Structure 1
Amino acid sequence: MKRKLLLGLIILLIVCAGIALGMSMSPTKKVNEIVLDKTTKPVILITVDSLMSEPLQKAIEEGKAPAFSFLINNGKLYPEFISSYPTMSVAIDSTLLTGTYPNQHKIPGLIWFKTDENRMISYGSGIREIVNNGVRHVALDSIVHLNKNHLSDEVQTIHEELANRQISSASINGLLYRGSVQHQLNVPKLISMVNLLPNEIEINGPTLLSLGALSQYNPKNDRHKFVWNRMGVNNKFTANELSYFIKQNKLPAFTFAYLPDADQSIHKHGPDDLKGIEKADAALQDMLNNYSSWEEAIQEVTWIVLGDSGQSFVKKEKETALIDLNDLLKNYTFWEGKKRNAQLAIAINERMAYIYVNDKQVELSEVVNILKEDERIAFIAWKDEQMNYVVSPKSEEALTFSPNGPYVDEYGQSWVIDGDSSILDLTINGEKRIHYQNYPDALARLYGALYSQEGRFIIVDAKPDYEFIEEHSHDHAGGGAHGSLHKIDSIVPLIIAGTDQFPEYNRLVDIKTLVLQLVGAHTQ
């Protein structure tokens, strides 16, 4: 998946200055001055952007992924773990680190509309979207507001939970890093000179916080944080920082590390691309090589390696592949950076989108009826004060659902359900048991998105092979994209080595509980 939290800043630097050689240099922080608690066995959680099971298995069979192969052969592989929804970076990481869906953590997606501020929130995306939303807004939302203001204070991250128990943790290039220790970010001079970010930024993070050019410990990482290698948001920087912690005997009880490099090539070439897996494997090898043997590595550390989302092929022919919501809803006016009193605002999250109906004179039903005419749309969802609704171009009947009813799914969640359950491909047996198929954990994940934010809005979700666009969005025709509820975008592999404890369910939302158990911090 495109991790655009800092990538947006990179694009901005290129636009504003064209070059930034040397400008991304920032002082290193002193790890030796940090006192860590003692832990019996540290946990390292590594997210590999857009890692998918079938390409991973192919890379292993071809001998291109020896580190992945070792961890699987000496641990346990879950080939079908369920991501969050929408299947976009910040929503997924918020779920992973808080153990909740967006109805609780309140990060709706990579792009969403903040009704009380009448503006679009973007954590970084295509250049035209950044310009339309305001480059300074994007920079501040990505670096500061995401963790400080947007992530709900009603939930706690793994870092915060551990800090409450005086247990140390680290984050290396993680998008979500909120913790209880104050850190000063080193803002490159060029960024502050053009007023994209303040000269000084104080944030709360884990005990150790590495965030590309903004915060680093390993002095040898300077050459991996220039603009052309994404200011440190790359595999090599992440592997080097983690290796430095290990070599300096400063590995805390829990470390979150992010390997982003696979995303770009998969978006461009499609889900079958193996180059990103090979690069991720090379980074894993660098990490494991800090020990005298890989066997020692899993004796000393518990390793959890997972993907964040899958990707669907997007048809090459743009007129067919791309669902243009401006065109589909052409009879309405649309929010833009300089046009704020519009009827609709559209937030594209690749293969899903939020459509905000800001004009109270416009009924949700009339917008829904227009959307139902496009058969490339898999489903359309919205809510009112009483119920949640899902419709589809293929069905004349709606599906309605709400929590706490007689129907129980495979995760022990109960629901009230009525109408056409085939819209979300639900199978319900005579004992009122719900089984998910093409849309795993569909009801809880969709409910999470529907209650992730304020305002009147509609969710649209595309069929495989298709992607949403609006006037300012970037597309992935001929390559890969994600964002949808469909299993193609939602199923990822997860590997655990170095422990005999495993998650209760095959969902990323359950990983927080596992981590707390592994480091001895879990309480019932």
Structure 2
Amino acid sequence: MNKTEKRAVMLMLDTLMDKPLQQALKNEHVPAIKYFMEYAIYYPGVVAPFPTMSVNVESTLLTGHYSDRHGVPALVWYKKNENRVINYGTHVFELVKLGLTKSLYDVMYRLNNKHLRKDVKTIHEELQAAGKISASINPLVHRGHTVNEITVPGLIRYFININKTIKTRTSDKFVYGRSSSLSALNKHSYIWNKYGFNNNFSVQEFSYLIKTNNLPHFSLVYFPDHDKNVHKKGPMDLEGIKEMDKQLQTILESFPTWEEALKNNIWILIGDNGQARVGKHKQSALVDIRRLLKPLRITKLRKGVQKDDQIVLANNLRSCFVYTLNNEEVPLTEIAERLKRDDRIDMIAWKSIDWIYVTSGGDGGEFKFKQGNDMKDEYNQSWKIEGEASILDLKIQGKAVTYGDYPDALQRLYSTLHSHAGDFVVTSVKPGHEFITESSPSHPKGASHGGFHKDDSLIPMIVAGTDCSPDFLRIVDLKRWILNLLIPKERGN
């Protein structure tokens, strides 16, 4: 069978990381993962986009572009032309304060149909244009050319004013929890199962496609559960990996044999982001960014932006967007100076005209960069750099730039600072720490993500069924690679 006849299956295993995976392979009973590894190429360090939050990761994967092109900056961000904070789902308390109806429409409709830019094409759209069928099982980002309906659960409609059904553009085969499913099975889909947004429901629906001989040319199946295990128990938690292995066994057993599953398909098992540990002592581990910005007036979530407000915060756990509402009254340099007072902060960046300025907490100095032809990095991207490159752990030899603790640092920062309108600083904290703001979740003694560090940014990938590799080991490069596996004569845009 040549590669054009094979189906491609991508299983996105939330918060899968190299070190705990290696420990599980060495010390635990994980037969499915071991079986894949036996026939696979293993890539331990694929670079995730920044901020390292699932909607940004999914948007980058599906479009083959960073957020400066796809337009979904993070899980939480401020939309300047609507003068409001967008939150796709950090914590129910934050969503209640922002307005549940608006927040639900943001994630169920606007994310895919308004916020994800129309001038970039997703994998689903490109495959549909080539006459191929694709499936999206439980990712939040799923845009394609097929119009499908999401049914809002009755209990949610009882408490808030929202339509029973919402039309959205999707892949051909589409699962969005119990709100849009393929099988008639109700197992794993109740309110206590997050209405089907769980690993078992993803497995149930994908297995249904296999058993009914409806496996499409490309399937993206999202396994969300391990995220909460690591948030609570820390980066080296293995229980979630063992659970995922049982679920992978269920998928393999949906085929006539495990051997046939691997022989006839390309399998890609991949994480979405890493997580960095968060210290156990709240006072030192949690960085209250509101205190650092005192006495500036910060928008309250429930009230929305008021005329006297000076600052809007969009907290993405280990990173945060800090927006000034009046750049003359509160310039970005003033925000940066206030943040620099805390040495738990590892990166502070903002753009001014065509330069991006970067500093860090403590006495780290400053440097700036922009697109240019002076130096070339390991991803064949060209830059002009001035100042203390050690702030981003850049290694410069002649005109060659390589990255250390902050993978693909320059392009990831450039894309973040050009991802949406507004005057803002983006900042992140060192491993061991997490930002807190009004009603935001926190994870002392556990782990968290969203940050710029390699602990948040590097994920493993297991590939079986092909010896072709992506151009570079970044999530942003995977779309082109997948399209070339399935449509070899054409290249993705």
Aligned-partner Cα distance in 2 for 1:523–1:333: 53
Q: Which residue of 2 aligns with 1:187?
A: 152
> 1:195-210 counterparts in 2 under 5 A?
195-210=160-175
Post-superposition shift, 1:394?
Answer: 4.1
The answer as to 2:215 corresponding to 1:248 is: no
Q: Which residue of 2 aligns with 1:235?
A: 199
Q: Deviations over 1:64-85 (max 9, x none)?
A: 2211111111111101111111
Post-superposition shift, 1:397?
Answer: 3.3
Q: Which residue of 1 aligns with 2:276?
A: 312
Q: Deviations over 1:9-28 (max 9, x none)?
A: xxxxxxxxxxxxxxxxxxxx
The answer as to 2:116 corresponding to 1:116 is: no
Instruction: State the AA in 1 paired with 2:90.
Output: S
Most deviating of 66-75 and 186-195: 186-195
Q: Which residue of 1 aligns with 2:447?
A: 480
Asked if 2 retains the 8 angstrom alpha-carbon contact of 1:53 and 1:79, the reply is: yes
Aligned-partner Cα distance in 2 for 1:316–1:512: 39
Q: Which residue of 2 aligns with 1:392?
A: 360
Distance 1:382 1:68, change over 3 A: same
Asked if 1 retains the 8 angstrom alpha-carbon contact of 2:112 and 2:143, the reply is: yes
Post-superposition shift, 1:292?
Answer: 2.6
> 1:30-109 counterparts in 2 under 5 A?
40-109=5-74
Instruction: Give the match's secondary structure for 2:369.
Output: strand
Asked if 2 retains the 8 angstrom alpha-carbon contact of 1:324 and 1:468, the reply is: yes
Post-superposition shift, 1:396?
Answer: 5.6
Asked if 2 retains the 8 angstrom alpha-carbon contact of 1:162 and 1:521, the reply is: no
Aligned-partner Cα distance in 2 for 1:349–1:65: 32
Asked if 2 retains the 8 angstrom alpha-carbon contact of 1:378 and 1:393, the reply is: yes
Aligned-partner Cα distance in 1 for 2:19–2:359: 31
Post-superposition shift, 1:522?
Answer: 5.7
Q: Deviations over 1:456-484 (max 9, x none)?
A: 00011111101111122111111000111
Aligned-partner Cα distance in 2 for 1:278–1:304: 18
Which residue, 260, 270, 274 being the options, matches 2:234? 270
Aligned-partner Cα distance in 2 for 1:418–1:395: 17
Q: Deviations over 1:384-420 (max 9, x none)?
A: 1131110123446321111132200111111111111
Most deviating of 358-367 and 152-161: 358-367
Aligned-partner Cα distance in 1 for 2:488–2:163: 36
Q: Deviations over 1:276-303 (max 9, x none)?
A: 1111111111111122321211111110
Instruction: Give the match's secondary structure for 2:187.
Output: helix
Instruction: State the AA in 2 paired with 1:117.
Output: E
Aligned-partner Cα distance in 2 for 1:308–1:271: 14
Q: Which residue of 2 aligns with 1:258?
A: 222
Distance 1:196 1:301, change over 3 A: farther
Most deviating of 436-445 and 192-201: 192-201
Most deviating of 254-263 and 339-348: 339-348
Which residue, 410, 425, 431 being the options, matches 2:393? 425
TM-score, normalised to structure 2, is 0.96
> 1:366-381 counterparts in 2 under 5 A?
366-381=334-349
Distance 1:396 1:225, change over 3 A: closer
TM-score, normalised to structure 1, is 0.91
Distance 1:196 1:237, change over 3 A: farther
The answer as to 2:401 corresponding to 1:407 is: no
Post-superposition shift, 1:339?
Answer: 4.4
Aligned-partner Cα distance in 1 for 2:158–2:215: 36
Asked if 2 retains the 8 angstrom alpha-carbon contact of 1:48 and 1:305, the reply is: yes
Instruction: State the AA in 2 paired with 1:480.
Output: A
Unmatched 5+ residue regions in structure 2?
none
Aligned length: 485
Aligned-partner Cα distance in 1 for 2:475–2:244: 20
Instruction: State the AA in 1 paired with 2:434.
Output: E
Q: Which residue of 2 aligns with 1:502?
A: 469
Post-superposition shift, 1:111?
Answer: 0.4
Unmatched 5+ residue regions in structure 1?
1-37
Aligned-partner Cα distance in 1 for 2:452–2:123: 25
Distance 1:228 1:292, change over 3 A: same
Q: Which residue of 2 aligns with 1:338?
A: 303
Which residue, 321, 333, 338 being the options, matches 2:285? 321
Aligned-partner Cα distance in 1 for 2:489–2:440: 42
Asked if 2 retains the 8 angstrom alpha-carbon contact of 1:322 and 1:469, the reply is: yes
The answer as to 2:120 corresponding to 1:141 is: no
Q: Which residue of 1 aligns with 2:120?
A: 155
C-alpha RMSD over aligned residues: 1.4
Post-superposition shift, 1:363?
Answer: 1.4
